[in-house]
């Protein structure tokens, strides 16, 4: 395997499981000094052990950090940059959905928490990564968005609007940080068969609705997303910035999934 990230430092938020962990492992296999952060030390330690099992010569660091708390994500960025003196890549993967359902009956606290985690957490991660990257006049940032941010998924609106904000953040940051040779892109995964989505991917009306809207009728894998993130972060994508990349088997060509099926 080409070691595209040899000698480079990479921070992955939400790196203890799922897409974040798979992407961190891929970066490590390609030579990166990798730091994973998340809110649970046990999950991070388990994830780090899994990375070391795949990339035995890798330098793997862990740090507990909540991306919605600025002091913590700032410290995580500094920690990730310490081994090499800079941060070459940020993959801001941390996110989640704390509200599903219609708007009229929405739990406002859950909506705010969803926006805080997905949008504000991405902003804070980007802000502090850019702070470290600007003096080096180099860097690549990849933000985790979602197909739900690009086209409506019924009853997933709180998550979707927060991810639409992430895509907008991406384009604004790409325009501004280009002055410093820092590229910013986002990925918009469709439905991925990981532990977070297992209650849906295991079967039922909602996953069948997904299948009906996908030209390539299969579930995504964490490897599908990780390989795209690694490409966008690599020198091979050195003239790509401000892109919101759908990785969804063509789902974006049809309509979004209907999450009201979870409640019927």
* Number of domains observed in the structure of the chain: 1
- Residues acting as catalytic residues: 159
Specify if 157 maps to a domain: yes
Residues in the chain: 264
Tokens 């009956």 -> residue:
105
Specify if 115 maps to a domain: yes
Does the CA dihedral 147-94-100-204 come out positive or negative? positive
Task: State residue 63 phi and psi, 5-degree precision.
Answer: -150, 135
Specify if 1 maps to a domain: no
Specify if 198 maps to a domain: yes
pLDDT tens column, 178-194: 999 999 999 999 999 99
Tokens of 51: 């990375």
What rounded mean pLDDT belongs to the chain?
97
Specify if 63 maps to a domain: yes
- pLDDT bin (cut points 50, 70, 90) of residue 233 is very high
Specify if 3 maps to a domain: no
Q: Do 97 and 149 meet the contact criterion of CB atoms below 8 Å apart?
A: no
pTM: 0.98
Average pLDDT, stretch 99-108?
A: 96
Specify if 173 maps to a domain: yes
- pLDDT bin (cut points 50, 70, 90) of residue 254 is very high
Specify if 2 maps to a domain: no
pLDDT tens column, 158-178: 999 999 999 999 999 999 999
**Domain at 48, CATH number:** 3.40.50.720
Q: Do 28 and 55 meet the contact criterion of CB atoms below 8 Å apart?
A: yes
- pLDDT bin (cut points 50, 70, 90) of residue 2 is low
Q: Which residue range(s) make up the domain with 74?
A: 9-263
Q: Do 248 and 214 meet the contact criterion of CB atoms below 8 Å apart?
A: yes
pLDDT tens column, 70-79: 999 999 999 9
């Amino acid at each position: 395997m080409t070691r595209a990230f040899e000698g480079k430092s990479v921070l992955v938020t939400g790196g203890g499981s799922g897409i974040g962990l798979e992407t961190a492992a891929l970066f490590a296999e390609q030579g990166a000094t990798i730091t994973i952060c998340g809110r649970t030390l046990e999950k991070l330690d388990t994830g780090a052990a899994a990375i070391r099992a795949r990339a035995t010569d890798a330098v793997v660091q862990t740090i507990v950090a909540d991306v919605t708390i600025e002091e913590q994500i700032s410290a995580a960025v500094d920690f990730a940059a310490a081994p090499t003196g800079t941060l070459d890549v940020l993959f801001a993967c941390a996110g989640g959905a704390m509200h599903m359902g219609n708007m009229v009956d929405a739990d406002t606290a859950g909506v705010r928490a969803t926006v805080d985690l997905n949008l504000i957490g991405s902003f804070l991660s980007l802000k502090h990564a850019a702070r470290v990257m600007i003096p080096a006049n180099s860097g690549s940032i990849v933000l985790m968005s979602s197909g739900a941010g690009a086209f409506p998924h019924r009853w997933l609106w709180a998550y979707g609007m927060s991810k639409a904000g992430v895509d907008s953040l991406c384009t604004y940051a790409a325009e501004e940080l280009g002055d410093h040779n820092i590229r910013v892109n986002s990925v918009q995964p469709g439905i991925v068969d990981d532990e977070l989505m297992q209650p849906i991917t295991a079967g039922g009306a909602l996953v069948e609705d997904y299948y009906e809207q996908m030209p390539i009728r299969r579930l995504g894998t964490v490897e599908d997303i990780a390989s795209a993130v690694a490409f966008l972060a690599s020198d091979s994508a050195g003239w790509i910035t401000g892109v919101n990349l759908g990785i969804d088997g063509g789902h974006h060509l049809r309509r979004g999934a209907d999450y009201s099926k979870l409640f019927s």
